[in-house]
Structure 1
Amino acid sequence: MSIPVPKSVLVIGGGPTGLVSLRNMIERGRFERVSLYERRDDVGGVWYFEDSDKPEDPLHPRWPSPAYKGLIGNVLPSFLSYSEFPFPEPPSTPHQPSPTLVETHQYLQAFAEPYIKSGAIKLNREVVSVEELGDGKGWKVVARDWTDNGKEIEELWDAVVIAIGWYDTPYWPETEGLEVLKTHGLAKHAKWWRGPQPYAGQKVLVVGNANSSNDIAAQLAPVTDGPVYQSIRRTALYTYPSLPNERIHFVAPVSKYTLKKTDKGYKFDALLTDGTTLSDLDSVQIGTGYRLIPNFLRVLDHSPEAREGALKPINDETVEPHRIPELHRLILYARNPSLGFVGAPLAFTPFTIADIASTWLAFAWLGETPYPDTVERRLIFEQERLEAIEKWRSGFENPSSLWVFSILGPTEQEYAYNLRKDIVVARPALDDILPLWNDERTAVRKAMYQKKFEALQYSKNLKDRAANGTAAGSQRGKERMRRYNVYL
């Protein structure tokens, strides 16, 4: 099944992947009608922080991101820069070269501004249903307009780009007793982390060993009762830099949680896989990541037992290995190429990967970049990737969590390089515009994690000097400390 060139394209999601997808559909695709729907009242996705403690408003629901005050990224500006729109150098360079939450949000707002003014971006527009129509007739989209009390709008679109990101559906480990802790409010996912203050004086366990878990543990360490326990399966990869901290004690994975009632309320014990028990804990913070599940999307069911025209969700929690299934090149839905995903794989450099992927998708829909002309041939990419990952993982007793289907990991350079090559064949002028993927750039990318580590060390030294009185009396010193995510 091939498709005619779409006349209308809808992009769903106003985060980093959606914004660059919109730009590339408009400026490089030049389709007749292109819009982006974002359910929140501003662009930015995960980088748009809003206070989650605000009271709920039934006439204007809210979807807070998992961002938190003081968040500083791990990625250098050159790897956050969309083509033809460079990211400004942070004012704290060189001591803190990675942009803050606020700086990243401001960059995305500036990028989106002309499209908001033109009406191409529609804020407060929540997509609640996307259904595939038969016979190549496009997609029926139902959205709620929260500028008009949630009024429902039904439309038809020729093509749809799903760019909603990974932060809607938290992944919880299937550990015995964890559900009980959740019902009593003792287990929280990193999605809802907003700072350490509520846990002052408590005994806290953190599960996970990536960026969120490391940040949470580091923020908890100065305020908790005794050490912060951090449960890990393997030593952290260099891509997740963190400082050693004598108040953070690494412990084995948890095999069971046991709730108990005391005269001071509920507490719990955590039995570890090495036989150790952590007793009388007050809270566990879960930093085990997310699942990408666009639960508003339903596609035609092609299974033999399905009735004609029946629809089904494109994926759910049961899909293993977790992924959006049946995507050619992790972008194009094999059974109906008028559906595309940007941001389906997690990447080291998601902004630039989204830029190249959405450009490739626009050109695929225009017929300028080739893709296989049958469903069976389009499914080969997924099958070969599944086989390659399974073969690689089978060679290790404890393989890296970065080498799974939904994470580009060590294949990122090759993946992006090949997309870029297709694009440049179609339009050679873009060769001087698009970001590069080669050995030299990958080496620069790998080196930025050491820069992050050095920035963390600088922040710690700044805090130590303030604690010793050398900077505490200076308003400038206090402002610098706030800048480096130090809790005063």
Structure 2
Amino acid sequence: MSDSPPIAYATGVVRPRRILVIGGGPTGLVTHRNLTQRGSFDRVELVERRDDVGGAWYLDQPIADPNDGTVIKVTNKPRWPSPAYPGLVGNVLPHFLSYSGHPSFPETKDPKQPFPSLWETHAYLRGFAKPFVENGSIRLNMEVVKVEEQDEGKGWKITMKDWNDGKEGKVVEEFWDAVVVANGWYDTPLWPDTEGVDILKEAGLAKHAKWWRGQYGFGYEGKKVLVVGNANSGNDMAAQLSTVVKSPVYQSVRRPNFPGFPALADEKIQKVAPVLRYTLSPDADSQGSDSEGRITAELTDGTKITGIDLVFFGTGYKHRADFVRILDVTNPTTEGSQNLVPITADEVQPHRVPSLHRHILYAHNPSLAFIGSTLAYTPFTIADLGSTWLTLAWLGEIPYPQTPSDRLAYERERLSSIEQLRSQFETPSTLYSYNVLAGHEQTYGIMLKEDVVQARPELKDVLPEWSDDRTKLREAMFKTKVQSLEYTKELRKRQGGVIEGA
């Protein structure tokens, strides 16, 4: 721990010297690089609980090199599985996945399928992280259990389990001046509050996209299924299931496909209304009867779908960071004891990591930061830009509001604008939420980059340019994705089989 506090409460200015980054996915890796190479801190380290970097792009099973089929990574069954699945192909083009100041993300070998695969994306991230793993500033198999704010600006106490030593995990405690939480979005599945969902879960008949591993080898053949949701996960599951299950696949949707979540029309997939409630047949066993499944889905339009075997939910995730415990600003520390509370909680509505200035700095103690607290069309480049901004803010090169109230102004304005936007719709899209940048992404990027360039003009041409032209190029990806899906579908037909991930 540093000899002096990293925060001066009189001015609210943070000057940390020792910084810990939590999470070795795309956001954590670029944050670690930017703090290390664009900063001048005494010590920067990253800890990752799994045995490899990559976050969601690191699959929890052996990965074969697509060039020769050799297995390049063999691990024991992990404790924290990725939501990825074999054959996953992304929806973001290489141009928008390339980190600044690093070799560009390589183009795919097939120009008609320009979106990188799971393997290609993971390979890029591993290559990016390699020098930091080798020099020891990235530590693997380190599970963060608690992050506890210390009083009087004395930094953060970190409790971890070191899984490099023994099967039980060795408990380790460390103190750091500042912490960046980059733990991603895929730990906590979001289930709808539809009546009967809990009954399906208890019966083992509800499956969330977090645990989707493809359509083969899990007994889905010939089943009657319902998929809930028509964003990326829901569309992928419906398309892949349609090749093996009883036709049609029912796909429950609230509104037509948003352009950002491309999907092909398929006669084997029948779009239906939202589900009002689920019920189970009382006379069927947990696996369903031989003749038909035991689930009935009653829809909001009054129709019923009976005999369903399984329901798949592509309903998203909640960003949680309950392991981060902060001093309760509503009930301050008394009599020398700390009153610590989780920073995220179900009571916080709308759901978010609360009290963040520009989605990054914790307003009540700016020695805590979050990178990746938002959902963006181009998360790699947003994380690159945001963590560069954070680096310069902690160096004192970028000013930010000096009081908690002033730092909270950004959140107040953002919440107000989202509330106004949602009020215009009877059933507003979940894309109109505090955590989703959506149409605000360009404005957000311009705002952060202006600060960065004012402090470091030399970074102007290093970081991506956020502009109308860039936004048009990004939006054109949606049409390109549809074309690539059509190409892959036709290729599958010509080959007389299934191309995984298509």
Matched, 1:95 2:124: no
1:368 equivalenced with 2:389 (yes/no): no
CA distance, structure 2, for counterparts of residue 433 and residue 422 of structure 1: 14
What is the match of residue 255 of structure 1? 276
What stretches of structure 2 of length at least 5 have no aligned partner?
Answer: 1-8, 63-74, 289-293
Of 169, 191, 194, the residue aligned with 1:175 is 194
CA deviation map 1:190-230 (0-9, x unaligned): 00000112211100000011000000000000111121000
1:160 match: secondary structure: strand
Task: Tell me the secondary structure at the aligned position of residue 102 of structure 1.
Answer: helix
State which of 164, 185, 189 in structure 2 corresponds to 1:147: 164
1:402 Cα deviation after fit: 1.4
1:403–1:410 Cα contact (<8 Å) kept: no
1:120 aligns with 2:137: yes
Q: Distance in 2 between matches of 1:166 and 1:234?
A: 24
Distance in 1 (alpha carbons) for counterparts of 2:162 and 2:100: 32
1:268 is matched with which residue?
A: 295
The letter of the residue matching 1:281 is I
* RMSD over equivalenced CA pairs, Å: 1.7
Residue 296 of structure 1 aligns with an amino acid whose one-letter code is: F
Residue number among 8, 20, 33 corresponding to 2:43 in the alignment: 33
For 2:137, give the aligned amino acid.
A
Match of 1:204 in 2: 225
- Structure 2 CA distance, aligned partners of 1:237 and 1:334? 34
Which position in structure 2 is the counterpart of 1:14? 24
Structure 1 gap segments, 5+ residues each: 473-480
Q: Does 116-125 or 256-265 show the bigger shift? A: 256-265
The answer to whether the aligner puts 1:389 opposite 2:418 as a matched pair is: yes
1:328–1:381 contact (8 Å) kept in structure 2: yes
| Residue 388 of structure 1: how far off its partner (Å) | 0.6
Q: Is the 8 A contact 1:3 1:136 kept in 2?
A: no
1:258 alignment partner, SS class:
strand
Is residue 2:322 matched to residue 1:318?
Answer: no
Supply the AA of the counterpart residue of 1:226.
Answer: S
Any conservation in 1 of the 2:398–2:451 contact (CA below 8 Å)?
Answer: yes
| Aligned: 1:233 with 2:265 | no
Residue in 1 that maps onto 2:240: 219
Whether the 8 Å contact between 1:206 and 1:229 is mirrored in structure 2 is: yes
Alignment check: 8 A CA contact 2:45 2:138 kept: yes
Paired with 1:238 and 1:352, the residues of 2 have a C-alpha distance of 21
2:364 aligned partner = 335
Relative to structure 1, is the Cα distance of residues 159 and 276 closer, same or farther in structure 2, using a 3 angstrom cutoff?
same
Counterpart Cα distance in 2 of 1:293 and 1:131:
16
Displacement of 1:398 = 2.9
Correspondence list, 1:443-462, <5 A: 443-462=472-491
Q: TM-score, normalised by structure 2?
A: 0.91
Alignment check: 8 A CA contact 2:87 2:501 kept: yes
Deviations 1:88-116 (A, max 9, x none): 33333421111000000000000000000
1:156 aligns with 175
In 2, Cα distance between the equivalents of 1:282 and 1:313?
A: 39
Which residue, 307, 312, 317 being the options, matches 1:280? 307
What residue number does 2:207 align with?
A: 188
Q: How does 1:57-136 map to 2 (within 5 A)?
A: 62-136=79-153
Structure-2 change in CA distance of 1:3 and 1:155 (3 Å): farther
The two structures have a TM-score, normalised by structure 1, of: 0.93
Q: 1:294 aligns with which of 302, 316, 321?
A: 321
Give distance in 2, aligned partners of 1:74 and 1:317: 30
- Match for residue 68 of structure 2? none
> Following the alignment from structure 1 to structure 2, what is the Cα–Cα distance between the partners of residues 175 and 445?
35
> 1:399 aligns to what SS in structure 2?
coil
Query: Would the aligned equivalents of 1:20 and 1:354 in 2 still touch at CA under 8 Å?
Result: yes
CA–CA distance in structure 1, aligned partners of residues 124 and 246 of structure 2: 39
Question: Distance between the aligned counterparts of 1:82 and 1:383, measured in 2?
Answer: 31
Aligned counterparts of 1:113 and 1:347: Cα–Cα separation in 2: 26
- The amino acid that maps onto 1:208 is G
- Separation (CA, whole Å) in 1 of partners of 2:342 and 2:123: 35
Alpha-carbon distance in 2 for matches of 1:344, 1:180:
31
**How far apart, CA to CA, are the structure 2 residues paired with 1:263 and 1:328?**
53
Which moved further from structure 2: 262-271 or 156-165? Answer: 262-271
CA distance in 2, matches of 1:212, 1:9: 35
1:315·1:325 contact (CA, 8 Å) conserved in 2?
yes
8 Å Cα contact 1:346-1:407 kept in structure 2: yes
Residue 165 of structure 1 pairs with residue 197 of structure 2: no
Q: Distance in 1 between matches of 2:23 and 2:200?
A: 33
CA contact (8 A) 2:28 2:182 kept: yes
Deviations 1:304-331 (A, max 9, x none): 4874620000012232111100000000
Q: Partners of 2:98 and 2:171 in 1: how far apart?
A: 36
Q: Which has the higher helix share?
A: 1
- TM-fit CA distance, 1:396: 1.9
Amino acid at match of 2:415: L
State the AA in 2 paired with 1:84.
G
Between Structure 1 and Structure 2, how many residues are aligned?
469
Question: What percent identity do the matched residue pairs reach?
Answer: 54
